[in-house]
């Protein structure tokens, strides 16, 4: 894709520490020459918008994952027009987002309207360049990093401005490159989906029907079944039973103590001790450890807001967790790893979603009082352990294939990041390469392609709505 690309013939110092040298024929202009701030309010009938890292700024009703709920007084929300740029809480991770539709958005966001010299689409790519994203920290105001942008300070910041012809060439080349990259990622995402379907089929059958071989001698293909009495569970082995979650787990409510690591629940990897938050910044920790909840090795914990997505796991050790989590202490006879598989089945997550409550749907939470009443399976502890061992063995190859494919996607995304940065900052000259590209009919911005590159952990800034430290 980049074969034959070379640097520009002549460079000059840009005067910007984060940019360094830029092509000699490029200009450097203050942001206020390229954009002005849009602060129009009083449009309550316009659709609510969501600023997403993978799709740009889109209608909230069209975005399938929960986003931060807009405040009730819609007159105070800011108007966004097509082609505007929105600086969201995610700007320090994924760049400034472009709007693909008209609507209104939280007044905490900064909305930039491009002037005529900035309408080519070049800045849609430039705002995704890591050197520029890193420079955004210079324009922050407020206590919490990344929460607000000081527009007065940003307006005085300087940005590179290639000629109109060069902007068009850069846009043409990067649009072409992104189509190829999105196609690669889309195919890999489809493969992961198929692998996950196979994996989930093995897990679901094992945790609802038992082992497919003699195993403990209690669950075989010929084992008698009985109705569970729960429609969404269906039939279960005759020697299994149905109990409420309170019979399997106790609610552990212990204040944290100093010296223990702060753990978090991840949708992908269960409970881990991460030092960085979802934006790659050091996690903000509460100095008073008693404000956390204590969790013991072998306990389970779930995020009240995201249990419906599978934000639950088994703790690998003693530690501290957010007060927004529910900590579950396994009762005697409960093997937590077995129930971790159950909680991650699609059928159980659907029931969690139904049992979650809140003022509005996208703020629903599953509290202990609701969780403890939910039905679940009960079976001998030894059989739980055998099922977990069976699942681990049978899904090992699938898990490895999924991890390898995810790594391929990550490498391609890293490649996209480097390529974009090198081109929009003038490190590579794409004018001749762009001129040789075939004509492609516009498809409205490749939103569907971008959607396929979404990751559960990077679509949303949950930190604005969760009660976490």
Question: How far is Cα 64 from Cα 452, in angstroms, rounded to an integer?
Answer: 12
| Same domain membership, residue 465 and residue 372 | no
β-pair partners for 329: 250
For residue 350, is it within any domain? Answer: yes
Question: How far is Cα 435 from Cα 179, in angstroms, rounded to an integer?
Answer: 17
Return the C-alpha torsion angle 96, 101, 106, 111, nearest 10.
Answer: 50
Question: How far is Cα 157 from Cα 135, in angstroms, rounded to an integer?
Answer: 10
CA distances from 140 to 40, 91, 123, 151, 270 (A): 22, 11, 20, 9, 33
pLDDT above 50 (res 450): no
Decide: 246 and 373 in contact? Cβ < 8 Å: yes
Please give the angle made by the CA atoms of 130, 135 and 140, to the nearest 5 degrees: 130
CA distances from 262 to 87, 251, 258, 288 (A): 30, 19, 10, 12
Question: How far is Cα 437 from Cα 305, in angstroms, rounded to an integer?
Answer: 47
Question: How far is Cα 132 from Cα 16, in angstroms, rounded to an integer?
Answer: 10
DSSP 53: T
Query: What's the pLDDT at 71?
Result: 52
* pLDDT tens profile 211-241: 865 444 444 455 789 999 999 899 999 999 9
Per the prediction, the chain carries an average pLDDT of: 85
Parallel, antiparallel, or unpaired: how do β-strands 103-105 and 78-80 relate?
A: antiparallel
For residue 198, is it within any domain? Answer: no
Question: How far is Cα 196 from Cα 203, in angstroms, rounded to an integer?
Answer: 10
* pLDDT tens profile 184-196: 999 999 999 999 9
| Same domain membership, residue 373 and residue 463 | no
Name the burial class of residue 242, with classes exposed (0-12), middle (13-18) and buried (19+) by CB atoms within 10 angstroms of its CB: middle
Among 144-158, 302-316, 381-395, 425-439, the range scoring the smallest mean pLDDT is 144-158
| Same domain membership, residue 374 and residue 460 | no
For residue 182, is it within any domain? Answer: no
For residue 308, is it within any domain? Answer: yes
| Same domain membership, residue 363 and residue 249 | yes
What is the token pair recorded at 266? 């991840």
Q: With bands split at pLDDT 50, 70 and 90, how would you rate the model's confidence at 55?
A: confident
Question: How far is Cα 372 from Cα 396, in angstroms, rounded to an integer?
Answer: 32
Last residue of a domain, one of 378, 396, 416: 378
Last residue of a domain, one of 332, 347, 378: 378
89: domain range? 27-161+456-469
| Same domain membership, residue 149 and residue 270 | no
For residue 92, is it within any domain? Answer: yes
Report the percentage of the chain scoring pLDDT > 90: 62
Decide: 218 and 406 in contact? Cβ < 8 Å: no
| Same domain membership, residue 368 and residue 275 | yes
For residue 301, is it within any domain? Answer: yes
Query: What's the pLDDT at 134?
Result: 85
Among 179-183, 214-218, 300-304, the range scoring the smallest mean pLDDT is 214-218
Query: What's the pLDDT at 199?
Result: 96
β-pair partners for 99: 57
For residue 412, is it within any domain? Answer: no
Q: What is the mean pLDDT of residues 204-214?
A: 82
Q: Which CATH number characterizes residue 33's domain?
A: 3.90.220
Query: What's the pLDDT at 441?
Result: 61
Minimal CA–CA distance to 326: which of 260, 394, 253? 253
What is the token pair recorded at 48? 């609510």
For residue 268, count other CB atoms closer than 10 A to its CB.
11
| Same domain membership, residue 137 and residue 38 | yes
Name the burial class of residue 273, with classes exposed (0-12), middle (13-18) and buried (19+) by CB atoms within 10 angstroms of its CB: middle
| Same domain membership, residue 151 and residue 260 | no
Among 51-65, 248-262, 444-458, the range scoring the smallest mean pLDDT is 444-458
Question: How far is C-alpha 151 from the chain's CA centre?
Answer: 27
Please report where in the chains the tokens 């039939």 appear, as a residue. 235
* pLDDT tens profile 86-105: 987 666 666 788 998 999 99
Could you give the maximum distance between any two Cα atoms of the chain, in Å? 80
Minimal CA–CA distance to 436: which of 143, 189, 169, 235? 169
pLDDT above 80 (res 275): no
Looking at the structure of the chain, the number of domains it has is 2
Among 27-31, 230-234, 385-389, the range scoring the smallest mean pLDDT is 230-234
Last residue of a domain, one of 319, 346, 378: 378
Among 77-81, 179-183, 436-440, the range scoring the smallest mean pLDDT is 436-440
Q: With bands split at pLDDT 50, 70 and 90, how would you rate the model's confidence at 203?
A: very high
Q: What is the mean pLDDT of residues 287-301?
A: 91
Is the pTM for the entire model greater than 0.75? yes
Q: Which CATH number characterizes residue 374's domain?
A: 3.90.220.20
| Same domain membership, residue 273 and residue 157 | no
For residue 14, is it within any domain? Answer: no
Decide: 90 and 437 in contact? Cβ < 8 Å: no
* pLDDT tens profile 425-437: 999 999 999 999 9
Comparing 72 with 180, the larger pLDDT belongs to 180
Decide: 74 and 41 in contact? Cβ < 8 Å: no
Query: What's the pLDDT at 459?
Result: 40
What is the token pair recorded at 273? 């001790």
């Amino acid at each position: 894709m980049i074969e034959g690309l070379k640097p520009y013939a002549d460079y000059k110092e840009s005067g910007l520490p984060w940019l360094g040298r830029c092509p000699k024929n490029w200009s450097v202009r203050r942001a206020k020459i390229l954009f002005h701030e849009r602060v129009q309010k009083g449009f309550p009938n316009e659709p609510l918008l969501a600023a997403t890292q993978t799709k740009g700024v889109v209608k909230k009703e069209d975005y399938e994952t929960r986003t931060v709920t807009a405040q009730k007084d819609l007159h105070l929300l800011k108007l966004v027009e097509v082609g505007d740029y929105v600086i969201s809480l995610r700007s320090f991770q994924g760049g400034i987002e472009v709007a693909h539709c008209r609507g209104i958005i939280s007044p905490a966001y900064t909305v930039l309207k491009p002037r005529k010299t900035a309408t080519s689409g070049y800045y849609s790519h430039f705002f995704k360049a890591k050197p520029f994203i890193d420079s955004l920290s210079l324009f922050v105001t407020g206590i919490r990093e990344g929460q607000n942008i000081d527009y007065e300070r940003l307006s005085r910041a300087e940005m590179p401005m290639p000629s109109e012809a060069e902007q068009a060439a850069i846009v043409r080349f990067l649009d072409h490159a992104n189509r190829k990259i999105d196609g690669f990622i889309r195919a890999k995402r489809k493969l992961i989906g198929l692998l996950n379907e196979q994996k989930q089929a093995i897990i679901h059958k094992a945790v609802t029907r038992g082992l497919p071989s003699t195993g403990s001698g209690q669950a075989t293909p010929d084992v008698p079944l009985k109705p569970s009495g729960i429609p969404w569970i269906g039939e279960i082995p005759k020697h299994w039973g149905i109990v409420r979650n309170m019979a399997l787990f106790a609610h552990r409510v212990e204040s944290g103590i100093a010296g223990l690591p702060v753990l978090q629940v991840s949708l992908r990897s269960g409970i881990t001790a991460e030092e960085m938050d979802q934006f790659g910044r050091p996690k903000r920790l509460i100095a008073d450890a008693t404000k956390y909840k204590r969790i013991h090795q072998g306990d389970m914990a779930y995020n009240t807001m995201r249990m419906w997505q599978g934000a639950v796991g088994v703790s690998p050790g003693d530690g501290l967790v957010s007060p927004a989590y529910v900590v579950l202490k396994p009762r005697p006879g409960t093997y937590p790893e077995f129930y971790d598989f159950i909680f991650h089945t699609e059928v159980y997550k659907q029931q969690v979603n139904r049992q979650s409550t809140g003022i509005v749907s996208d703020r629903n939470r599953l509290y202990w009082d609701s969780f403890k009443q939910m039905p679940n399976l009960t079976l001998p502890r030894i059989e739980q352990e055998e099922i977990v061992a069976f699942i681990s063995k049978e899904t090992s190859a699938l898990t490895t294939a999924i991890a390898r494919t995810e790594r391929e996607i990550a490498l391609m995304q890293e490649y996209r990041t480097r390529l974009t940065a090198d081109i929009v900052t003038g490190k590579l000259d794409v004018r001749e390469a762009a001129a040789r590209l075939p004509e492609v009919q516009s498809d409205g911005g490749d939103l569907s392609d971008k959607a396929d590159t979404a990751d559960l952990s990077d679509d949303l800034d949950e930190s604005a709505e969760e009660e976490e430290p």
